[in-house]
Every structure is written in C-alpha cells, then in structure tokens.
Amino acid sequence: MKYIQIKGGAPLCGEVAVQGSKNAALPVMAACLLVRGVTVLQNCPDISDVCCMCRLLQSLGAKVERCQDALRIDASHLSSCHPPQELVMRMRSSVILAGAMLGRCGEVHLHTPGGCVIGDRPIDWHIRALGQMGAEFEEDGCLVTARARRLRGGRVVLPFPSVGATENVILAAALAEGQTDICGCAMEPEIMALCAFLNGAGARTAVAGRGHIRVTGVGALRESVYRVEADRIVAGTYLIGVLAAGGSAFLKNAPVRQMASVTALAGRMGAKLSAETGGLYVERRGRLCAPGYVETGVYPGFPTDLQSPLLVALCQAEGESRLAERIFNGRLAVAEELNRMGASIRVDGCCAGMTGGSRLYGQDVTARELRGGAALVLAGICAEGITRIRGRQFIDRGYEDIVRDLRRLGADIGDKTGL
C-alpha cells in the first residue's frame, strides 16, 4: 500500500507554483456539455477528481483529451444521458451534471452522488431549484431521473447559498427560455469563474446584486478557450503550512484577492504577507499567536476547505482558540488523528476548542477525506520524528502532487510503499 512519509520538525522555505483550481475546473468541465463543439480548458489541474470528470464526460459521449495542462473537450455529439453509477458515486460534484445535461438534452439519470465524507451532503436544494425551472424528478432508490421538455427562467430562491446548487441553476439557465434570477445564491470565486467561462462562450450571466445572479438564456453557446484560475485552497494550504511550521515561501500564481480572509487570519497569528507580482509571499519566523475565535463561512468568510489545515496551526499557536465549522457538520473528524499526534483538540458538535502550544509527534495516521488528509500532511511537517500517512488517494483528489510541492518548500517528505 502507498503511503506518505514525513520527517518533520523543520521550517518550510522556497517557492512553489500553485496548480489550477479544482472547484473552478469541475463545473466549467460540466458546462462544456452545453457547447456543441470544442472547448479548450487551460491550466486544468491533473488531479483524480478532474480525471473522474473526464471519464464522466466521455461516458456521455464527449471526446476528451489532455495535452499538457490543457483539456480539449469536444461535446459536438452526446450519446447517453446516464453516467455510470461507479463514477457518479465517486465524486459529489458529479451532481452538477444535472443542470448541464438538462440544458443540453432535457434528461439525465444520476445516482445519488458520493464524495468526501465530511457530513451530510444532501441534494434537495438542487432538486427543488431545478424543479422551479420546469424539471421533473423521479426517484427510484438512489437513482434520480430528471426530465425537462423545456427549461424556463423565473425567480429561483435558494434557502442557503449552496455552491453546487447555484452552479446547477446557472448551467440549466444558460440555454433556458427567458431570464433566470437566482436569489440567495453563492458568490464564491468559482461561481464567478463559471459565469466568466459561460460569458466567453456567448452566454449572458451577470451579478445583479449581493447573492443575486441573473442569467438570460441564449440559443446556443460557441467554442472557446478558457484558462482555469489558480486554486485558492491549495495556495491556502501551503500558506497555512508555513504559518504552522515557520519559514518563508513564495506561492507563485496564488489568487491573492480571493484569499483575504486567510491572509488576514495568518497576519493576526504572526505571519508577514505581501502580495507581489505573480503571487504571494508569506513568512512566519517569530511567535505563532492564537487568534481567539475563528469560524468558517460562505465567501468571503474563512473557507471550510481550509478549516482542517488551520486546526494544525491553531493547536500549536500560543493561547486558547475556538473554531466553529458552519458549513459541513462532519468536518472535524480529523481532530481525532491530530490528537493521536499530540494535539489537544476538544470537539463538541461543530465546534472545537484547543489549548495551543501542543507539541506534535510523528505517528502512523490515516487520511479519510481530502482536506483532512492535507491537514495530516501539514501536521507531519510540524511534528517531531516520522509520520506515515495512509489514504493518499483522498489527498490526490485535490492536490496534483502534495509531496512534490512540499519538497519544493524543503520538506523531508516522500512516497513509500509497504506498511
């Protein structure tokens, strides 16, 4: 079995280039189904979730080829509206195929999607919102069938700014009849990226206010070339790595403007940061101070995807911290593994408290989901001695090669087999 081995205890120093964004690439790939022709997506990260989406698109009849960092997606002809269960169950974001397939074919058969184990992840809001646009749903066990003879615009109100539900409605609305006003929608940078891609292909989407996106349906989308932006979560993971382990790094291509909540918190904890041409410089040499209370939130709040990495920095900072997870209810499970490494995190429902100053020690631990896995890697870098991390496949869903990147920052980290 493959595992990651880390000899920890040294600061991180150097430069690393930040890969393209997973959460921007996946919905844009789904959006390619709306284009009867070829789309080229540059800077598409080479991660297993993107590979899974490539296979999903192929299963529907699209031709997908990778050429270095670019994907060429030819959706001129589709042959199926039933992606295989095995692929859909593997990745929760396969649910965004619903909006795209309804827009393109008026029909889709989807098994209830899977994904990371980070709490309840229902799709009721997706179903209700697409229903408001004219789609009809039938459920048979875990198979959901959606059909829409014609999708029509109107006012779609989301009960919570769900990223995936917002993406699904935008995808369904792009070719729908009339104007769709999505109210209470998510405004994450990845939503803006989806709108930018669609507009580049001839769609008409616009921000009409806070939590309000307006999509005016068009007859067809055209071929285009689009560059996926850098991944704010990967950049944030490495930033938090420097914060926790100490040292200095230049995060090339980091999308600084999207990272304000993360850089502000890192500054409060004692890091020096400067936005430079082409990236972000981060340094932490002196004390690591506890920030007091932190909570995750919808953008521009602190991203839930960086909550687990942040735990590693909090449990070493001087002083008491409290953290509240406001988006996913099962996202503090990694605390148990961190405690086995010497942290003292007390979890109570969606809140965690920790007395800082914990010394971490190398341990054999297991990653069970993507961001929790990244947190264990950062913990291994901070820990005294050898840490071995199983479950690399979860980390590979979102990081092109975390071992390569952290080696570039001077970490003593490698891939091993055995264990």
CB of 115 to ligand UD1, least distance (A): 7
Which positions from 13 to 52 touch ligand UD1 by CB under 6 A, shown as an x/- string? ----------x--x--------------------------
Q: Does 122 bind ligand UD1 (CB under 6 A)?
A: yes
- The nearer residue to ligand UD1, 123 or 235, going by C-beta atoms, is 123
- The nearer residue to ligand UD1, 253 or 304, going by C-beta atoms, is 304
Assign 3-class secondary structure to the chain: CEEEEEEECCCEEEEEECCECHHHHHHHHHHHHHECCEEEEECCCCCHHHHHHHHHHHHCCCEEEEECCEEEEECCCCCCCCCCHHHHHHCHHHHHHHHHHHHHHCEEEEECCCCCCCCCCCCHHHHHHHHHCCCEEEEECCEEEEECCCCEEEEEECCCCCHHHHHHHHHHHHCCEEEEEEECCCCCHHHHHHHHHHHHCCCEEEEEECCEEEEECCCCECCEEEECCECHHHHHHHHHHHHHHCEEEEEECCCHHHHHHHHHHHHHCCCEEEEECCEEEEEECCCCECCCEEEECCCCCECHHHHHHHHHHHCCCECEEEEECCCCCCCCCHHHHHHHCCCCEEEECCEEEEECCCCCECCEEECCCHHHHHHHHHHHHHCEEEEEEECHHHHCCCCCCHHHHHHHCCCEEEEEECC
CB of 122 to ligand UD1, least distance (A): 4
Q: Does 162 bind ligand UD1 (CB under 6 A)?
A: yes
CB of 114 to ligand UD1, least distance (A): 11
Q: Does 164 bind ligand UD1 (CB under 6 A)?
A: yes
Size of the site for ligand UD1 (CB under 6 A): 21
Q: Report the relative pairing of strands 279-284 and 272-276 from DSSP bridges.
A: antiparallel
Q: Does 226 bind ligand UD1 (CB under 6 A)?
A: no
Active-site residue flag, 116 = yes
Q: Does 160 bind ligand UD1 (CB under 6 A)?
A: yes
Interface positions, 80-119, toward ligand UD1 (CB under 6 A): 92-93
Which positions from 165 to 204 touch ligand UD1 by CB under 6 A, shown as an x/- string? x------------------------x--------------
Tell me the two tokens of residue 259. Answer: 């990272």
- The nearer residue to ligand UD1, 258 or 363, going by C-beta atoms, is 258
Amino acid, res. 143 = L
CB of 251 to ligand UD1, least distance (A): 19
Give dist(CA 285, CA 271) in Å, integer.
8
CB of 395 to ligand UD1, least distance (A): 14
Q: Does 326 bind ligand UD1 (CB under 6 A)?
A: no
Of residues 32, 44, 116, 382, which has the active-site annotation?
A: 116
- The nearer residue to ligand UD1, 249 or 254, going by C-beta atoms, is 254
CB of 10 to ligand UD1, least distance (A): 30
Q: Does 349 bind ligand UD1 (CB under 6 A)?
A: no
Q: Report the relative pairing of strands 107-111 and 279-284 from DSSP bridges.
A: unpaired
Q: Does 328 bind ligand UD1 (CB under 6 A)?
A: yes
**With CB under 6 A as the contact rule, which of the stretches 52-60, 145-153, 157-165, 244-252 interacts with ligand UD1?**
157-165
**With CB under 6 A as the contact rule, which of the stretches 57-65, 156-164, 271-279, 284-292 interacts with ligand UD1?**
156-164
Give dist(CA 23, CA 40) in Å, integer.
17
Q: What is the dihedral sign for C-alpha 49, 18, 20, 267?
A: positive
Residue whose Cβ sits closest to ligand UD1: 164
- The nearer residue to ligand UD1, 6 or 146, going by C-beta atoms, is 146
Interface positions, 389-408, toward ligand UD1 (CB under 6 A): none
CA dihedral in degrees (98, 101, 102, 104; nearest 10)?
Answer: 160
CB of 23 to ligand UD1, least distance (A): 3
- The nearer residue to ligand UD1, 23 or 316, going by C-beta atoms, is 23
Residues serving a catalytic function are 116
Footprint on this chain of ligand UD1 (rule: CB under 6 A): 23, 26, 92-93, 120-126, 160, 162-165, 190, 304-305, 327-328
